[in-house]
Amino acid sequence: MDWKKPTRKQLALAAAAVLLLAAGAFAWQRLFGAAAMPEGLLLANGRIEGDHVAIAGKLAGRIAELTVREGDQVAAGQVLARLDDEQVSARLGQARAAVEAASARHHAADTALQLLRRQVPLQIASADATLDQARATQHKAEAAQTQAERDATRMQELAEHGTVPRQRAELAQLAATSAAADATASRSGVARARQGASEARLGTEQVRARQAELDTAAAEVQRAQATLQEVQSVYDDLTIRAPQPGVIVTRIRDAGEVVAAGAPLFDLVDLDRLYLKVYVPETQIGKIRRGLPARVYTDAFPAEDFAASVRYIASQAEFTPKEVQTIDERVKLTYAVKLYFEQNPQHRLTPGLPADAVIRWNDQVPWQRPRW
């Protein structure tokens, strides 16, 4: 048999085929190395992800200031942005002035009421005492009048019989007339004292009127405070804060832009709640259940593994995404599985980091690192 010397082109093609085979073997080992894992362990890979929070403001407005950038770690409650507050600040000043004015009216009404509550009982007591004294004076004057009239009548009879001088009878009559005048005056005093007591008791009506004014003033204070609270809430909403700790993944807007209410400004990921999202072939998904332990390995920290556990298993299968490889062909159906990290020391793990995971579904099998 005659052998022809291979051409340079054929040698190049052969060399390329060898390289492709070598690369394929390496890729198979690298991508589908799960076959080398012992029964009881399942190897998967994917990228670290996190639960994203879109941070938006409640109100529309112009962005006056942005305090963070992409990649910044933020604490819960930290100020991230501020919207222009010129108009709301004016309303806030008006609301505060209204509260001060209403409070001043309430204070004045309360002071007047307290003064009446102290004065009215004293006035009533004084008027009652005056009335009692006037009645006592009237009683004495009427008694004196009666006695003087009796004395005058007796003296008149004695004078007519010549027993006493007529002058004495006249003096007795004068005394009776004076006693009658005193009695009349005492009765007028009683009438005046009774009128004074009635007027003093009208002070209770003044107390009720002042109490009504105080209640009205208190209601005005409450309305003013409610308005102030509402405006203060609007003012506070112009300052946008982080709802939870995390890292700013994306800063969507820039200072000076006008945004609508609810328009997202930042994309935040909580670094304490990261997970590795992997895809498990449908032929292996029966071995996976929630709560299974896993260990995650990254190229960024090759000497360290991170504890995780299965907390989510997709209920429906899907075709394997292009960027993910499994031991089966990519056109095969897989199930998304999320492995949540138990902790993220010093927040070294970040979203987007590629990683490999070993899931142990048989507790009797010892842990092994991925073998590529």
Q: What is the mean pLDDT of each run of 10 residues along the chain (372 residues)?
A: 54 58 48 64 92 92 94 93 94 95 94 88 88 90 88 84 82 87 88 86 85 93 95 95 92 94 94 92 91 94 92 85 52 86 90 93 90 62
pLDDT of residue 259: 94
Domain boundary pick from 234, 260, 281: 234
Say whether both 164 and 130 belong to one domain: yes
pLDDT of residue 33: 43
Residue 357 CA to residue 277 CA, distance in Å, equals 10
How much is the pTM? 0.62
- HEC readout, 223-286: HHHHHHHHHHHHHHHCEEECCCCEEEEEECCCCCCEECCCCEEEEEEEEEEEEEEEEEECCCHH
Domain boundary pick from 234, 260, 295: 234
Answer whether residue 170 is part of any domain: yes
Answer whether residue 149 is part of any domain: yes
Query: Which structure tokens are listed for 146?
Result: 């009666």
CATH code assigned at 100: 1.10.287.620
Answer whether residue 242 is part of any domain: no
Query: In this structure, are residues 282 and 317 in contact, taking their beta carbons and an 8 Å threshold?
Result: yes
Domain boundary pick from 207, 234, 261: 234
Say whether both 127 and 39 belong to one domain: no
pLDDT of residue 173: 87
Q: Please enumerate in sequence order all residues whose Cβ is within 8 A of that of 210, keeping only pairs 6 or more positions apart, or say none.
A: 109, 112, 113, 116
Say whether both 63 and 169 belong to one domain: no
Q: How many domains does the chain have?
A: 2
**What is the per-residue burial (b if ≥16 Cβ within 10 Å, else e) of 128-142?**
eebbeebbebbeebb
Answer whether residue 372 is part of any domain: no
Q: Could you give the residue ranges of the DSSP H alpha helices within the chain?
A: 8-31, 86-160, 166-201, 203-237
Residue 67 CA to residue 345 CA, distance in Å, equals 26
Say whether both 198 and 269 belong to one domain: no
Say whether both 122 and 194 belong to one domain: yes
Answer whether residue 19 is part of any domain: no
Provide the 3-class DSSP secondary structure of residue 346.
Answer: helix
Answer whether residue 26 is part of any domain: no
Answer whether residue 365 is part of any domain: no
Quickly count: other Cβ atoms within 10 Å of residue 121's Cβ: 14
Say whether both 99 and 219 belong to one domain: yes
Q: Which residue has the tokens 């260990």?
A: 295
Say whether both 43 and 69 belong to one domain: yes
pLDDT of residue 55: 95
Say whether both 212 and 103 belong to one domain: yes
Answer whether residue 139 is part of any domain: yes
CATH code assigned at 38: 2.40.30.170
Say whether both 170 and 113 belong to one domain: yes
Containing structural domain, residue 299: 34-73+249-360
pLDDT of residue 220: 95
Say whether both 180 and 217 belong to one domain: yes
pLDDT of residue 17: 60
pLDDT of residue 215: 94
pLDDT of residue 4: 54
Residue 121 CA to residue 321 CA, distance in Å, equals 90
pLDDT of residue 5: 56
pLDDT of residue 20: 57
Say whether both 94 and 66 belong to one domain: no
**Residue of 371, 356, 338 whose CA lies nearest to 295:** 356
Say whether both 227 and 263 belong to one domain: no
Q: What is the dihedral of CA 303, 305, 306, 310, to 10 degrees?
A: 160
Query: In this structure, are residues 75 and 242 in contact, taking their beta carbons and an 8 Å threshold?
Result: yes
